[in-house]
Amino acid sequence: MINLIPQEEQIIFKLKTQKKIAFIFCFLISFLFFCLIISFLGIKYYVDKELNYQKNVLDNYKKEQKISDISDIQKKIYSINKILDQIDSFYSRRPLFSRAVRKISNILPSNSYLEVMSINYSESDDKMLKVFLAGFISKREDLFNFKKSLEKEPGIKEVTFPLSDWLKSENIEFQINFKIEQ
């Protein structure tokens, strides 16, 4: 093909064509950057929304956890208060077991000894203690005197021995139940 356009015009035409190509190339690159920026902004917006959602879920979980922790603490406090009330009730009733033991040891004959001593609250009366004694005494007469001494003692009531304790005359293993005032 023969080119009839003068040389100067051809150079100007090539320059214009190169300018157009450069302009189109710059436009495409700018458009690409614009699309990338829009895409990154969309991704950033999505990630921010998702992050806020996850923070809300985490905050709600922490609140629920705190509520359950608080309810657990309240349950523990309630149980401790219940125990403290029981302790307070015990000390307000305050049986002085030492007084009961002292009374028993003063009455107990010298030729005898105890193997079992049990002191509990009386179920029927808060002011009374139930006492169970089991032990050894050498003679029936001493056992009889021990019974009489218990019955005479103020504050001691309902003294009972099983009949089997009275069968032997010597080396008697006895059992006795009675109530004593606090």
> In this structure, is residue 81 part of a structural domain?
yes
**Confidence band (pLDDT; 50, 70, 90) for 1?**
low
> In this structure, are 116 and 59 located in the same domain?
no
Q: Which is nearest to 36 in space by CA: 47, 48, 46, 28?
A: 28
pLDDT score recorded for residue 25? 95
**Confidence band (pLDDT; 50, 70, 90) for 93?**
low
Number of Cβ atoms within 10 Å of the Cβ of 3? 8
pLDDT score recorded for residue 34? 95
DSSP element (H, E) containing 138: strand 128-139
Query: pLDDT tens, 25-76?
Result: 999 999 999 999 999 999 999 999 999 999 999 888 888 888 887 888 888 8
Chain mean position to CA 170? 57
> In this structure, are 16 and 89 located in the same domain?
yes
Range(s) of the domain holding residue 67 = 10-94
Q: Can you give the CATH number for the domain in which 104 is found? A: 3.30.1360.100
Domain count of the chain? 2
Query: pLDDT tens, 114-141?
Result: 888 888 877 776 677 888 989 988 888 8
